[in-house]
A and B are shown apart, each in its own frame.
Chain A
């Protein structure tokens, strides 16, 4: 039954949906994922490409093009990964395994930073810590008479801090999920053996969650390595280059081949670490907890430490969620970017142009480019969310149905390939493929369509994963009992699978939407000035020194993201009434 993929189908069988769907999916995945990556490799094998390889790796330029950015990237990767592990792990431990007060609140605050784009934190940092070394207006602290040294205003350290503030919530999510899978029984069995708390922690809990710790490390590492916004905003002004900003600079100045070479190297660096961590995890035995009575977890009393630890956790939460948002809001109202809390005006939001302020530019809600950008951003988010989840569900269904077959293995391997590719490098690959007309098709560069295709491809791993988890919630029995009534595939899909899966699909779609709305590193290469998205506009304003505008737009992005999450939350219960409790 599962080996149909090895069978050469006859004409009539080819038309059956059982065959058409997988074949179609293989084609789609090949075009979305394999073609761009193959193309970018091929483009660097041309004579120009070979010259670019030489320039990047073995020429007087290579220190600037490759070694120094690589060094910066690695430092960022390691410091961010370890920072995230410490903060995310600490919060996860506190929320899942202790009786700290306000556990739900801390848990919620620890999830939020991931919803906030990393450039929001970077902009907020700049607003507070910017010093006058580079000219332009100084930040809040320096204006208030506090001298800010260069290392705290620009470069590696602020970039790392901002990235940790963003990615620790990813680490938190992964570690918290793993910790809550450590059943109370496992801990109690240790207690029965007479082990004390430290012994139980180091002997049982830590080893069981080690795979999650490794996963969290490698994912935050990959995230930091691939991030574009933070190093671009906080590093570029002092010429601190990472691989992603170098890549952007090359493509932007038309040195495409060199850009492609750097993109490939960036992919190699990121993939190498993800691969190594994967080996590390799978080298150990898979620690699936063996049976269990459900989600009961053991909470340890903290005693006198309850409130001090709560204060630490709450401070982390506030500094990474509320404070940046407040800073951005205050800055978008303050005419002097250093004096955050005086002379507030709505000029940057709704002011008419032509005055003294902001070199005569109008407020963002009077700016037609920006209004356009809002709509194209939302449109992009919606379209990509839809295409991604549809594709993800179809792929997951095929992979699950044909588990063990060659086809399923191929599909799942290909669908997870984009995980290894940093988004800015992925964008470079799409430029390599679609930057020029292919046969009868026109060049897609700079179009909405290209962005949708690239984004769908980039979100494929997430989509397949959430599709699988959605389908995993529907037991095979349910589907089979529907099949026994004689209902066909389509009928089953709409009558059984869809209603049961809608909640999970919806949650997945919202996440994709939010990811798209706050994304900068994928769109930064693929969009042209004529049809921008919000994050691009904010980045451009920030690059030109109009901090208030950039901050205001970032707030708009935040509001859209939060509204989407809130909407998802409140809609979820209505969609599946039988789950109301």
Chain B
């Protein structure tokens, strides 16, 4: 409630956050802030430090350096450790393993945190019924966690977390244990709950599709660092690093390493672009989105011959992946397309590269 009243302070403010385990640095100098009501997704490959970051937000780990502030109040810092402990942050965490207490019924699981928070009995019963209804699991109230399915356990875990009406909701890869169909269902369910509660949410995942569909803000993490932070559409349109460019987007964008030869940038023997794009460098990487790569020869644009690998139909077109030596290149063919693996296919670069990156990964702005 505070979060809305003092709109000036960001709901979550992370400054210069560092977390070390012995000699290993899991989180390196992270700076992030999001306004109240946002849905922040931390996305990255496994081992990138996203779960550690989330556990620090929850107050389960203390930072080595830097600080975390909720609504202007410092809750953890490198100097002070965990200042407000997990229970006093007005935050709720949905665990990847759900962490349902096996000896309590579904209703018991949801009611226990309220009991700890000393809610009066009637208010408690009312709230339990409310969240059970919100998640559509009323009928499971008297069951034990071991007696319900994985998807139902997931709903119980979410119900338990939102019951005390936290102003901040944390999710640790909550959908990773569900099957594909259920995952999509729960995705919209979570967005609905986010809108219904208005709580600022932080969501950790390795699935970039979840990040793109759910987030108001995305932070892409790699090796403990934030590679880029912003609105999902901005990250997709203007990736700052080659990692972000290839990690986000479906189908994945292509990154072609090229050399400068005279006035041109050359891939193998093929001239792809003018050397002015390289800003004086000898070798750079060109980003081509799949929709900018056509299958078959198109007159007047650079064409490469690759070996067909696989094809998948998407929305009336076909996503074709072919290999040039070890490099996978994905393009789009109109209609349905198929070939025998290993067969040569021509790939045409019908537009100029979307972005240019140095070999070290950073964007070269034109």
Contacts and interface: CB of A to CB of B under 8 A. Distances in A.
Given A188-B93, A203-B112, A193 B103 contact: no
A189 B101 contact: yes
Given A192-B86, A193-B112, A208 B101 contact: yes
| Most B-side CB within 10 Å, residue of A191, A192, A289 | A192
Interface in A300-343: none
B209 interface: no
Contact of B102 (A190, A191, A290): A290
Given A194-B87, A290-B153, A208 B58 contact: no
Given A189-B93, A285-B146, A290-B153, A194 B99 contact: no
B357 to A, nearest CB: 36
A193 B115 CA distance: 9
Contact of B86 (A186, A191, A284): A191
A210 B85 CA distance: 28
A288 B59 CA distance: 27
A119 B160 CA distance: 53
Contacts of B92: 192
A372 interface: no
B298 interface: no
A188 B101 contact: no
Interface in A161-210: 183, 185-186, 188-196, 199, 203-204, 207-208, 210
Nearest to B156: A290
Contacts of A207: 101, 103-104
B237 interface: no
A476 interface: no
B267 interface: no
Nearest to B177: A291
B93 A194 contact: no
Contacts of A183: 97, 99
Interface in A199-223: 199, 203-204, 207-208, 210
B103 A195 contact: no
B239 interface: no
A194 B95 CA distance: 16
Nearest to B163: A193
A293 B172 CA distance: 12
B97 A192 contact: no
Contact of B58 (A186, A192, A285, A288): A192
A284 B116 CA distance: 24
A193 B87 contact: yes
A207 B100 CA distance: 13
Contacts of A199: 116
A286 B146 CA distance: 8
Contacts of A289: 102
A194 B116 contact: yes
Given A192-B91, A192-B92, A193-B87, A186 B113 contact: no
A287 interface: yes
A289 B99 CA distance: 8
Contacts of B153: 290-291
A292 interface: yes
A192 B88 CA distance: 8
B87 A195 contact: yes
Nearest to B118: A194
Given A192-B86, A290-B146, A290-B153, A208 B116 contact: no
Contacts of A286: 146
B96 A293 contact: yes
B116 to A, nearest CB: 5
Contacts of B104: 207
A194 B98 contact: no
Nearest to A193: B113
A122 to B, nearest CB: 39
Nearest to A191: B86
B164 interface: yes
Given A189-B93, A193-B164, A208-B103, A288 B98 contact: no
Interface string B76-114: 000000000111100111011111111110000000110
A105 to B, nearest CB: 22
Contacts of A203: 112, 116
Top 6 A-B pairs ranked by shortest CB distance?
A194-B87, A193-B113, A185-B99, A189-B99, A207-B103, A287-B102
Given A183-B97, A188-B58, A195-B113, 16 more contacts: A185-B98, A186-B99, A186-B101, A188-B60, A188-B95, A192-B87, A192-B113, A192-B161, A193-B164, A194-B117, A199-B116, A208-B102, A288-B102, A288-B146, A290-B98, A291-B177
Interface of B: 58-60, 85-88, 91-93, 95-104, 112-113, 116-117, 144-146, 150, 153, 160-161, 164, 177
23 contacts: A189-B93, A189-B100, A189-B101, A190-B112, A191-B87, A192-B60, A192-B86, A192-B87, A192-B91, A192-B93, A194-B87, A194-B117, A195-B113, A195-B116, A199-B116, A204-B101, A204-B103, A285-B102, A285-B103, A285-B146, A290-B145, A291-B97, A291-B153
